[in-house]
């Protein structure tokens, strides 16, 4: 560094700040949140960073770093920028394999030696506004990040002011101001370059490129502390998206997703048993077992004759409130995440609090669910773009059409939780079955016995209907008394003998 402070007293980093990154993460912070990085994590340009043995998800984050000049304590957002003497480039490396070890404090996943390269030059801020800065990152010569400080949710002056309410920011302290979209994983051999400049300021000053080379470490973490742990969710988030991870796998840079979905209770045998069985028949079998509130009331199919059978993936809306919608309604919100991650064979079940006067799914999201192989959509709210959705093959059960957009009555809140849809409790993994009579929820542990009983009952009911069609009275036949049961068993035996 060239600003005369060899080791800053504090290195403070912001979790989320750039709207492009906020949209990726799908959550909008109301205020900035922070974590500390140790001075021992500092490294100069041209240094190397080790990916520890036994890990796979070391990610870069190019950032604008603020260097405090005059100490700041209880300053206002309007004056906060005046306390920044220099700006430089930083790379806030993090190891997703240890992300769960310290939650938001990031002690182990972002505190390693060499995990905070800074430099190579520091630009004096005199005459340059807080909204005139640009940060760019290259990986192996290809541009990966490019964003500007005029887009920030929390401007630099606000960060200084906020932190100064809690502690004295001293000369030389460094604030890492967040990373834009484009952060991803790097592997041994990769070269990462970060540059911060002010392209529209006089002379277009630049820090130059902060260069870091990734190497493979030889030391594995011991079992006396948290050891690395990676799942598919971490892989996708570290690489940036499912598509980017898939591209990295194809290029030989990433580990394929290895978590296999739990085997569905909806086996081929169970599906065959339930083929042609009415929802009403299954509901009767559930009623015998004490399950009387398993109906998703008020919903109807968008195509006459539609049926639905699959495992539940859930989405919950809460009542609209402007501040909550501002935080949770934009970007890659819970609604988009649900439709973008529903899997083949799943039914997306939406808790819309039984309100038909607002749309909860439209044509684009319905199409996304269809493309991903979903077995259907059930919402106890309305559907917008109803005519367009009707053109798709995917069954959609709802309370009908409504043209409103998101934000009229609901805030998309969370996915993959227990919900209440149409008066029924629905948990992820429950079995959802529907036809023109309606939609029911089957607890998975009851599926096998209920399916077998319902299939047998459906066969018996079909035989009873044949007898009624031939003129038989229903008294004693429906339900069958001993005499009719004997006739039915005889007819079944004869049918099986002929098969």
Cβ density class 343-373: b for 16+ within 10 Å, e for less: eebbbbbbbbbbbbebbbbbbebbbbbbebe
Residue with tokens 């809140």: 413
* Mean pLDDT, rounded, for 483-497: 83
- Strand-pair category, 11-14 with 123-124: unpaired
Contacts of 332 (CB under 8 A, 6+ apart): 23, 24, 25, 26, 340
Residue 2 confidence class, pLDDT cut points 50, 70, 90: very low
Residue 1 scores a pLDDT above 80: no
Residue 278 scores a pLDDT above 70: yes
Give residue-wise pLDDT tens across range 353-367: 999 999 899 999 999
Residue with tokens 């900035």: 32
Residue 256 confidence class, pLDDT cut points 50, 70, 90: confident
pLDDT at 9: 92
pLDDT at 330: 83
Pairwise CA distance, residues 382 & 396, whole Å: 10
Residue 165 confidence class, pLDDT cut points 50, 70, 90: very high
Range scoring the smallest mean pLDDT among 33-42, 143-152, 247-256, 385-394: 247-256
Alpha-carbon separation of residue 455 from 103, 173, 277, 437, 444 (angstroms): 49, 71, 6, 17, 17
Give residue-wise pLDDT tens across range 324-336: 998 888 888 889 9
* Mean pLDDT, rounded, for 361-375: 93
What is the pLDDT of the chain when averaged over all its residues?
A: 92
Residue with tokens 């050891």: 227
Residue 260 scores a pLDDT above 60: no
* Mean pLDDT, rounded, for 152-180: 97
* Mean pLDDT, rounded, for 82-89: 97
- Maximum Cα–Cα distance for the chain, whole Å? 102
* Mean pLDDT, rounded, for 62-69: 97
* Mean pLDDT, rounded, for 107-112: 94
Q: Two tokens at 436?
A: 């023109």
Residue 262 scores a pLDDT above 80: no
Q: What is the pTM of this model?
A: 0.59
Residue 5 confidence class, pLDDT cut points 50, 70, 90: low
Contacts of 156 (CB under 8 A, 6+ apart): 64, 66, 80, 81, 84, 130, 149, 175, 177
For residue 180, give the 3-state DSSP assignment: coil
Residue 243 scores a pLDDT above 90: no
Domains in the chain with CATH codes: 11-229 (3.90.850.10), 292-442 (3.50.30.40)
Give residue-wise pLDDT tens across range 407-426: 889 999 999 999 999 999 99
Residue 482: other Cβ atoms inside 10 A: 8
């Amino acid at each position: 560094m060239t600003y005369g402070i060899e080791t800053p007293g504090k290195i403070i980093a912001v979790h989320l700040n750039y709207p492009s990154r906020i949209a990726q993460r799908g959550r909008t912070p109301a205020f900035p949140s922070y974590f500390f990085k140790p001075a021992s994590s500092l490294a100069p340009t041209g240094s190397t960073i080790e990916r520890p043995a036994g890990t796979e998800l070391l990610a870069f984050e190019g950032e604008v770093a603020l260097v405090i000049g005059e100490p700041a304590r209880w300053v206002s957002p309007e004056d906060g920028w005046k306390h920044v003497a220099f700006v430089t480039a930083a790379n806030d490396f993090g190891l997703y394999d240890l992300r769960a070890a310290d939650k938001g404090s990031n002690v182990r996943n972002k505190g390693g030696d060499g995990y905070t390269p800074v430099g190579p030059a520091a630009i004096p801020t005199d005459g340059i506004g807080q909204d005139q800065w640009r940060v760019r990152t290259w990986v192996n010569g290809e541009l990966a990040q490019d964003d500007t400080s005029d887009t920030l949710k929390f401007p630099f002056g606000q960060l200084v002011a906020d932190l100064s309410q809690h502690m004295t920011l001293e000369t030389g302290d460094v604030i890492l101001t967040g990373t834009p979209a484009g952060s991803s994983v790097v592997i041994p051999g990769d070269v990462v370059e970060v540059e911060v400049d002010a392209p529209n300021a006089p002379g277009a000053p630049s820090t130059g490129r902060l260069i870091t080379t990734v190497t493979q470490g030889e030391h594995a973490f011991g079992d006396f502390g948290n050891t690395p742990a990676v799942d598919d969710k971490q892989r996708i988030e570290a690489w940036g998206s499912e598509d980017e991870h898939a591209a990295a796998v194809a290029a030989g840079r990433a580990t394929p997703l290895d978590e296999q979905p739990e085997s569905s209770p909806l086996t081929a045998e169970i599906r065959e048993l339930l083929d042609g069985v009415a929802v009403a028949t299954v509901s009767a079998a559930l009623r015998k077992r004490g399950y009387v509130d398993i109906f998703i009331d008020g919903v109807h199919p968008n195509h006459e004759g539609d049926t639905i059978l699959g495992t539940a993936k859930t989405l919950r809306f809460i009542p609209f409130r402007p501040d909550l919608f501002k935080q949770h309604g934009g970007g890659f919100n819970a609604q988009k995440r649900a439709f973008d991650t529903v899997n083949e064979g799943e039914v997306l079940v939406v808790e819309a609090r039984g309100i038909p006067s607002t749309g909860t799914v439209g044509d684009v999201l319905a199409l996304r669910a269809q493309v991903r192989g979903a077995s259907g959509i059930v919402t106890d709210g309305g559907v917008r773009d109803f005519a367009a959705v009707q053109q798709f093959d995917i069954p959609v059960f709802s309370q009908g059409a409504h043209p409103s957009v998101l934000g009229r009555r609901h805030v998309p809140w969370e996915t993959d939780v227990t919900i209440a849809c149409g008066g029924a409790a629905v948990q992820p993994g429950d079995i959802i079955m529907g036809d023109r009579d309606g939609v029911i929820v089957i607890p998975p542990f009851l599926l096998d016995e209920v399916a077998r009983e319902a299939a047998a009952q459906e066969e018996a009911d079909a035989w009873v209907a044949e007898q009624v069609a031939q003129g038989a009275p229903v008294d004693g036949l429906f339900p069958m008394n001993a005499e009719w049961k004997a006739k039915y068993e005889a007819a079944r035996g004869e049918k099986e003998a002929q098969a």
